[in-house]
Amino acid sequence: MWIPRIQSDARLKYLGIVDAIENDIKNRLLRPGDKLPAQRAIAEQLQVDLTTITRALNEATKRGLVETQRGSGSFIAQTAFSLYSLTSLTEGKNIDLSMNNPPHPTILNLHDEIVKGLAQIHSDDSLFNHLNYQETAGNPSDREAGAQWLTARIPVVSSEKLLISSGAHSALFSILSLLKQMHHIIAAPALTYPGLRAIADHLGFDVLTIAMDEEGIIPEYFEQCCQTKKPDVLYLIPNIDNPTTATLPTARRQQLVAIAEKYDVIIIEDDPYAPFQDTLPPSLYSLAPERTWHIATLAKCVSPALRVAYVVAPDLDQALSLAETMRVSNLMAPPLMTELASHWIRNGMLQKITHAIKLENTSRHAIASAIFSQKNLTSSVVGPHIWLALPANWRALEFAEYAHRSGISIVPSSAFVNGTNASQAVRISLGGTIDSQSLTDAFNVLAGLIQQKTIRTKAIV
């Protein structure tokens, strides 16, 4: 029988009791079928009121930890261990597969390369130019390096139209802040980057939903939207979409550009994952430079610590206008990180790093493919995340909650929904500091959770 206790770090007493039960299950001190003391006995031993114990057991039931049999008392649920089926995941360390952090590549030590790169910069007299405030658009030499980096996706890039921002999210905020002066309606995929919706809501944009299939947004639905609702802006992640992993084929890109030109719609091309692709379709910017804003961050293909993103404007006047807008909210990108990025571009190291990360993505994708059913799995073999459809007995929010109870953080499809969407899926990121064995263990736990045919108690009520 359980020895009652309260977890000391809980913010409320009743939650402390639940956390204590949960931890004791994780540590195999409690097992399915073990009986809990009577509620009054627990209250007396812990010196709390009976209401607190009732709330605790109700919460434990919601979490799937406890089940009550009328006339017999409360017992550890028979399904409890299915939530904690791997000892390595129950030692208090959560495995975070919710953030699209680039994985640490096994063939290259990124920590050493950062130290080495900064040392090389230190030996260069140009370092002193980056220890002061910079132009908001970026130091001219850094903008030239950025233009060099982007030539693989935009063959002709003028550094005069290129600006440097402290990350893609900041760049998107600045672009939409500028466009808000004349435009008010954004069209976006039915499942899209949550940051877009947050920024749009903050700035007062209406966001319309464009239906998608396995290749991305459907041009016919985009044209219908243009005819009936007249959006001003189209937002897209064209390569290895977040979250669906779709890459727009060339023909579909051409169709979307033609529709945008026909109805005078501005395009925002958010393109963080292009460096991973072996064969790169033409960028939307290269197809329609006069109406497209292109955003290319290094946070997703190198490291989130490198808060550097390059923005290419449609023309020089709009680049200057964006610089004025950025100055209000951002002032400048971090100069030292920008110089490190420029240094890596010039000596070829940035390409080596992104290639090493791409290989690591591919290796981790192979692990996912071996564990998850192919009928449920949508992915790009070089991408940093997978999109996993759930069987009919699971709702995405419930599944993510159960995964969290197992020590694994993932993101339900509801976090990406723009408007209404019935998709029940989860995004699972492959990166971060987690090693391949821990990733394999986490995937096995998630695969086992998917196979549960019935859920005896719901995580969300």
* Residue 61 in tokens: 């039931």
Residue entry with tokens 């370092």? 127
Parts of the chain belonging to CATH 3.90.1150.10: 95-107+352-450
Q: Is the pLDDT of residue 128 over 80?
A: no
- CATH says 95-107+352-450 is which class? alpha beta
- 304-319 average pLDDT score: 95
What pLDDT is stored for residue 327 in this prediction? 93
Q: Is the pLDDT of residue 185 over 70?
A: yes
- 176-186 average pLDDT score: 94
CB neighbour burial string for 239-249, b if at least 16 within 10 angstroms, e if fewer? bbbbbbbbbbe
Distance, CA of 105 to CA of 279 (rounded, Å): 21
pLDDT confidence tier of residue 90, bands split at 50, 70 and 90: very low
What pLDDT is stored for residue 167 in this prediction? 94
More confident residue, 330 or 303: 303
Q: Is the pLDDT of residue 435 over 60?
A: yes
Q: Are the C-beta atoms of residues 102 and 300 closer than 8 Å to each other?
A: yes
Phi, psi of 75 (to 5 degrees): -130, 155
Q: Is the pLDDT of residue 87 over 60?
A: no
- Of 138, 137, 31, 9, the C-alpha closest to 84 is 31
Is the domain defined by 110-351 classed in CATH 3.40.640.10? yes
pLDDT confidence tier of residue 352, bands split at 50, 70 and 90: very high
pLDDT confidence tier of residue 77, bands split at 50, 70 and 90: confident
Percent of the chain with pLDDT over 70: 93
Could you tell me the end-to-end alpha-carbon distance of the chain, in angstroms, rounded to an integer? Answer: 28
pLDDT digits (tens, 9 = 90+) for 315-328: 999 999 999 999 99
pLDDT confidence tier of residue 456, bands split at 50, 70 and 90: very low
Question: Could you count the other beta carbons within 10 Å of the beta carbon of residue 50?
Answer: 12
- Could you please report the per-residue DSSP string of 205-237? -EEEEE-EETTEE-HHHHHHHHHHT--SEEEE-
Q: Is the pLDDT of residue 162 over 70?
A: yes
Q: Is the pLDDT of residue 74 over 50?
A: yes
More confident residue, 406 or 22: 22
Enter the pTM of the model: 0.80
pLDDT confidence tier of residue 331, bands split at 50, 70 and 90: confident
Distance, CA of 87 to CA of 441 (rounded, Å): 10
Pairing of strands 385-389, 425-429: antiparallel
Q: Are the C-beta atoms of residues 130 and 338 closer than 8 Å to each other?
A: yes
Distance, CA of 344 to CA of 382 (rounded, Å): 22
- 219-235 average pLDDT score: 97
Parts of the chain belonging to CATH 1.10.10.10: 13-80
* Residue 333 in tokens: 């990108």
Which run of H or of E encompasses 312?
strand 309-312
pLDDT confidence tier of residue 125, bands split at 50, 70 and 90: low
Q: Is the pLDDT of residue 283 over 80?
A: yes
10 Å CB burial of residue 250 (0-12, 13-18, 19+) is exposed
Q: Is the pLDDT of residue 226 over 60?
A: yes
10 Å CB burial of residue 7 (0-12, 13-18, 19+) is middle
Q: Is the pLDDT of residue 86 over 80?
A: no
pLDDT confidence tier of residue 26, bands split at 50, 70 and 90: confident
Q: Is the pLDDT of residue 459 over 60?
A: no
Strands of 60-193 (E only): list them: 66-69, 73-76, 95-96, 162-165, 185-189
Is the domain defined by 13-80 classed in CATH 3.10.310.40? no
Question: Could you count the other beta carbons within 10 Å of the beta carbon of residue 237?
Answer: 25
What pLDDT is stored for residue 454 in this prediction? 46
Helix (H, G, I), strand (E, B) or coil at 162: strand
Which run of H or of E encompasses 339?
helix 335-347
Q: Is the pLDDT of residue 80 over 80?
A: no
pLDDT digits (tens, 9 = 90+) for 385-427: 999 999 998 989 889 888 887 788 899 999 999 877 678 999 9
CA distances from 299 to 157, 174, 344, 355, 370 (A): 21, 18, 14, 15, 28
Which value, to the nearest 10 degrees, does the dihedral of the CA atoms of residues 246, 392, 221, 226 take? -100
* Residue 232 in tokens: 């001003």
What pLDDT is stored for residue 89 in this prediction? 46
Parts of the chain belonging to CATH 3.40.640.10: 110-351
